[in-house]
Structure 1
Amino acid sequence: MFLCKVISKCTLRLLLKSRFHRKQKIFIRLHSTRRLEEAYKVVKTKCQSKKLPKDVNPRAVFACNELDLKEVKVYGFDYDYTLACYKPSLDYLLYNLGRQTLIEQYKYPPDIKNLEYRPGFAVRGLHYDIEKGILLKLDSFLQIQFGAVYKGLTPLSNEEVLQIYKNRIIPIAYVEGHTKNASDSHTKMVQLADLFSVPEMCLICNVADYFEKKHFDYHPEILFRDIKSSIRNSHPVMHNIVAQNVSEYIERNDKLRQFFDRLVQANKKLFLVTNSPYGFVNKGMEFMVGKDWKEYFDLVIVQARKPRFFTDLSRPIRVYDERSGSHIWDRVTKLEKGVIYYEGTVKQLQDLTGWRGHQVLYFGDHPYSDLADVTLEHGWRTGAIITELTHEIATLNNPEFKKNANWLQMLTQLIEDHQDCEDPDEQKILMKWMAERDKLRNDIKYVFNEQFGSVFRTYHNPTYFSRRLFRFADIYTSNIANLLNYSVNHTFYPRRGVMPHEYISYFV
């Protein structure tokens, strides 16, 4: 009996000890999860108490590279979406003309006449996979942005994207081709980098969606080539329609003449190099500047066929006769003010004018065909006119966006600081934080564009378009007249960007 009492006491002690350890583990676990919950509350309170950032000036000029305007003697300009900014009506016009050409010349089903333009569907800078018929958004590391991949008008899930591409990162040869000047015929993926391509993207997706729903067996590359040709062949018709109804399609820029006056008074040279035909340009410039617009320019070249104008070594420059509307075949040995020129090359422009290197500042809207070659091959300084900045900056200045962006940054840091815990209950809390972060990232994306988000960012990385823009443009802004806010001797200084290894050492 004594032995039984001893055993019972031992058993009781073991039971009590076991209960104590269980309670201790529960207490430790509760204490551990409470630690995460408290950390969340502290960070959330700190975020809510933070003063929101100042608004970004929508008329500012932003610097990617230091640019001293005192060194600039010559100002050059593209025309479309640089000097002339178009109303949304032009997108509808190009879309409708392209759709009509598809039916009449390429014998596409008459039913596609019912496929209407979708404003706000696409953004500039997307890539179209001409092999697979997929429209998608890439970041600066050639990673696909999940949630921004479409076949026709249907968004593809992350699983479907990985099933198609086997990887989230696209090989550079697939995107850019194997040669330096890879054209559409060398690449499997084409970037739609100018604003004229926005209605083109919408037409591609609308027709592809129609074919998918009708279960038609179509070739994505043929569809792409046909629509690209249709839009391109529609441009002459578009030029005539716009020239006859300028105010319906072109935004009046009342400050453009003032800007030219400023440059001329500062003894700067001005030139215009555009792919558009003279009659079209003339009507637009008369509407925006006045009938004497040519007096501001020391050189005007139309139908330049950029980017070939910047890359070809030998292509004669010709004189355009305004009266007859034809080209004069005389050899051009000098470039004269008041004369309209046609085609040619940048080599001839430089040889005949002596305008070279950093004394030339050229503005365009297309990072590749306008800016890439002149900065890489000829050392010109460059400025990009990105009209989407108006919408992007308005979104950045929205107080709700600022709050969400601040909280996203702080929540991401919180997750990073606590992600290595191994306790299952702590992991559940982390998963809850991750779900909140995912929702925040989507909310921030949708306010720019519901399908594809910001022109300049994926969820956190710069887009592929941004990478090229920052590489080829010394400065960029939403409107050429924004330069009136700065003197002709102003120096633009880029902000010192924080590298990942510098982050903690800066006040950010």
Structure 2
Amino acid sequence: RLKTAVEMTSFLSAEVHVIPPGACNLLNSSTIYANNEVNLAEVDIYGFDYDYTLALYSNALNTMIYNTARGFLIEHFKYPEGICKYDYIPNFAARGLHYDIQKGLLMKIDAFHYIQPGTVYRGLNPVPDEEVLQLYGGTYHVPLQQDSGFYGKVKGGPKVKQFMDIFSIPEMTLLAAANDFFITNDIEYDPVHLFKDVSVSEAIGMVHLKGYMYKWVMEDLDKFILRGEETDAVLHRLVSQGKKLFLITNSPFSFVDKGMTHMVGKNWRDFFDVVIVQADKPHFFTDCIKPFRRLDGNGDLRWERIQSLEKGQIYKQGNLFDFLRLTGWRGSKVLYFGDHLYSDLADLMLRHGWRTAAIVPELEQETKVVCTDRYALNLTWLQALTGLMERLQTHRDPESKQVFQEWQSEREELRVMTKNLFNPQFGSIFRTCHNPTYFSRRLCRFSDLYMTSLSCLLNYDLSYTFYPRRTPLQHEAPLWMDQLCTGCMKTPYLEEIQAESDI
């Protein structure tokens, strides 16, 4: 047993096993990751969302959304002209963050509803951890009942809003910029009204409702749509192997038609057995009220009763219950791809037993970071240091206490360094200091598979089985290599008790 801080330090240098050289390079952003076992041989029907699933967009779209919504704040809501000085910051916000509506704070929350220290922002500036504790009554915990839930339906309205889709990134950035303007200029304001003016129901919402986003994309498809040829290749491959395909999207037909023609060709509808536009997800999956309507060749609404969903036709609205009744497509033979964990995937997995696949474009950048030697070194050292601190804490001599404090400071520095490798403000979208993020836990809960883009399917045979890796539970951890230096030892107190019992 290690008895002194000096012995601990010697042990550290002798026993810490770094990640084998090149191991991180095995990570590949074209990999499909499995949360649950999925055998593609059993999947006969492939379903897709459109935005950020079949069509991936460039960052230029976020800038356009931000600039236009900022203009609405000034022109329609009469906000100060000075907000125009705040340009879009591409790498400020990240998906999955929470926003305290009443306090005007943007933050990152882990899977256990705890705020990650160092990731709370008021405007564009971090809030000291001591102030965060004071604001939340001496704790970092955010109660579940204050959260927006799946669809923002909380009695009296949510106090904390989670931003789950990629389209929300410019919204978060505009909220931060507007807050920063009022704070910097010492102008009194109501954070709740600011949130309502900026949110999807007002300025950001106007960008979508007035069709600006659709107009921009349709006018310059090459600028805004990425990797269209890969979408084309995926659809060709699936159809050539006899798979049935369907599309359910909230976007209007004219927009989808222009984008799919650009990516796949004017006969793109031939790939799909069913096409549904303006579906109004997530209500499409939960309500059974709206009937299907057919659109004619000009995109005009027809009013006849829908008795079947026919290939080559375009349908509007509808609901999942009629969809299931008319198609008979049920259970694990259906695999649906989408980018929004709540609106696209949650109900399909939890209520209907479909297989689900999440499109997470952020994986491309995150895996690049994880593959760096700096990340591997930081993570290995951080794990080792944590294990040693766990052992050293039982020693009460002055030397041990001093070493413990030094290690504690070094551990905090490593955490910050590791976070900054992903995003200086909020770190990885998948992890806090040591826990999964709120976003990451939902990703695991609502998706069987997740991947950077649909093109990842091209790397696998359509009879391939995805097997999730067995990751250690905490009580299994000593069996794993990264825990070699953190195994359990008898504490001095336990030894004293045993010694007394032997007398």
Q: What TM-score do the two structures reach when normalised by structure 1?
A: 0.90
Which residue pairs with 2:494 in the alignment? none
Aligned positions of 1:228-247 closer than 5 A: 228=199, 229-235=202-208, 236-247=211-222
Q: Distance in 2 between matches of 1:142 and 1:292?
A: 48
Secondary structure of residue in 2 paired with 1:377? helix
Which residue pairs with 1:429 in the alignment? 403
Contact 1:184 1:190 in 2 (8 A): no
Q: What CA deviation, in whole Å up to 9, does each residue of 1:36-86 have, x standing for no partner?
A: 33233324xx44695452420110000001111111111000011111111
Which residue pairs with 1:220 in the alignment? 191
Q: Distance in 2 between matches of 1:95 and 1:48?
A: 43
Report whether the alignment pairs 1:108 with 2:83.
no
Q: Distance in 1 between matches of 2:155 and 2:283?
A: 15
Report whether the alignment pairs 1:286 with 2:261.
yes
Match 2:335 to one of 350, 357, 361: 361
Report whether the alignment pairs 1:53 with 2:28.
no
Residues 49 and 483 from structure 1, CA distance in 2 versus in 1: closer, same or farther, beyond 3 angstroms? closer
Note the residue ranges of structure 2 that are not aligned, 5 or more in a row.
483-503
Which residue pairs with 2:12 in the alignment? 40
Aligned positions of 1:18-37 closer than 5 A: 32-37=4-9
Which residue pairs with 1:27 in the alignment? none
Which residue pairs with 2:465 in the alignment? 491
Q: Distance in 2 between matches of 1:466 and 1:184?
A: 26
Give the stretch that moved more between structures: 203-212 or 214-223.
Answer: 214-223
Q: Distance in 2 between matches of 1:49 and 1:491?
A: 28
Question: Structure 1 residue 264: deviation in Å?
Answer: 1.0
Report whether the alignment pairs 1:467 with 2:441.
yes
Q: Distance in 1 between matches of 2:71 and 2:151?
A: 35
Which residue pairs with 1:447 in the alignment? 421
Q: Distance in 2 between matches of 1:372 and 1:445?
A: 29
Q: Distance in 2 between matches of 1:297 and 1:214?
A: 54
Q: Distance in 2 between matches of 1:407 and 1:290?
A: 52
Report whether the alignment pairs 1:137 with 2:108.
yes
Q: What amino acid does structure 2 have at the position aligned with 1:262?
A: R
Contact 1:243 1:279 in 2 (8 A): no
Q: What CA deviation, in whole Å up to 9, does each residue of 1:364-408 have, x standing for no partner?
A: 001100000111111111000000000000000011111111111
Aligned positions of 1:396-411 closer than 5 A: 396-411=370-385
Match 1:311 to one of 265, 269, 286: 286
Contact 1:52 1:402 in 2 (8 A): no
Residues 184 and 489 from structure 1, CA distance in 2 versus in 1: closer, same or farther, beyond 3 angstroms? farther
Which residue pairs with 1:150 in the alignment? 121
Report whether the alignment pairs 1:201 with 2:176.
no
Contact 2:110 2:436 in 1 (8 A): yes
Q: Distance in 2 between matches of 1:275 and 1:435?
A: 49
Match 1:66 to one of 28, 33, 37: 37
Q: Distance in 1 between matches of 2:230 and 2:98?
A: 35
Question: Structure 1 residue 284: deviation in Å?
Answer: 1.2
Report whether the alignment pairs 1:381 with 2:352.
no
Which residue pairs with 2:250 in the alignment? 275
Aligned positions of 1:173-184 closer than 5 A: 173-176=145-148, 182=153
Q: What CA deviation, in whole Å up to 9, does each residue of 1:86-139 have, x standing for no partner?
A: 111001010011111112222212222222101100000000111111101000
Which residue pairs with 1:190 in the alignment? 161
Secondary structure of residue in 2 paired with 1:453? coil
Q: Distance in 2 between matches of 1:96 and 1:329?
A: 39
Match 1:331 to one of 286, 302, 305: 305
Q: What amino acid does structure 1 have at the position aligned with 2:428?
A: S
Q: Distance in 2 between matches of 1:180 and 1:197?
A: 14
Secondary structure of residue in 1 paired with 2:229? coil
Report whether the alignment pairs 1:80 with 2:51.
yes
Which residue pairs with 2:70 in the alignment? 99
Secondary structure of residue in 1 paired with 2:119? strand
Cα root mean square deviation, aligned: 1.7
Q: What amino acid does structure 2 have at the position aligned with 1:232?
A: G
Which residue pairs with 1:15 in the alignment? none
Q: What amino acid does structure 2 have at the position aligned with 1:288?
A: M
Question: Structure 1 residue 245: deviation in Å?
Answer: 0.8
Q: What CA deviation, in whole Å up to 9, does each residue of 1:170-222 have, x standing for no partner?
A: 11111246x99725953211100000000000000000110112222211121
Q: What amino acid does structure 1 have at the position aligned with 2:442?
A: R
Q: Distance in 2 between matches of 1:101 and 1:35?
A: 64
Which residue pairs with 1:28 in the alignment? none
Secondary structure of residue in 2 paired with 1:335? coil
Q: Distance in 2 between matches of 1:154 and 1:255?
A: 40
Q: Percent identity?
A: 45
Residues 332 and 412 from structure 1, CA distance in 2 versus in 1: closer, same or farther, beyond 3 angstroms? same
Aligned residues: 474
Residues 118 and 49 from structure 1, CA distance in 2 versus in 1: closer, same or farther, beyond 3 angstroms? closer
Q: Distance in 2 between matches of 1:507 and 1:455?
A: 25
Secondary structure of residue in 1 paired with 2:408? helix
Report whether the alignment pairs 1:159 with 2:133.
no
Which residue pairs with 2:490 in the alignment? none
Match 1:260 to one of 235, 251, 263: 235
Contact 2:47 2:248 in 1 (8 A): yes
Secondary structure of residue in 1 paired with 2:118? strand
Q: Distance in 2 between matches of 1:37 and 1:157?
A: 32
Q: Distance in 1 between matches of 2:452 and 2:334?
A: 20
Note the residue ranges of structure 1 that are not aligned, 5 or more in a row.
1-30
Question: Structure 1 residue 283: deviation in Å?
Answer: 1.4
Secondary structure of residue in 2 paired with 1:441? helix
Q: What CA deviation, in whole Å up to 9, does each residue of 1:422-479 have, x standing for no partner?
A: 0112110111111111111110000100000000000110000000010000000001
Contact 2:24 2:372 in 1 (8 A): no
Question: Structure 1 residue 344: deviation in Å?
Answer: 0.7
Contact 1:259 1:481 in 2 (8 A): yes
Secondary structure of residue in 2 paired with 1:361? strand
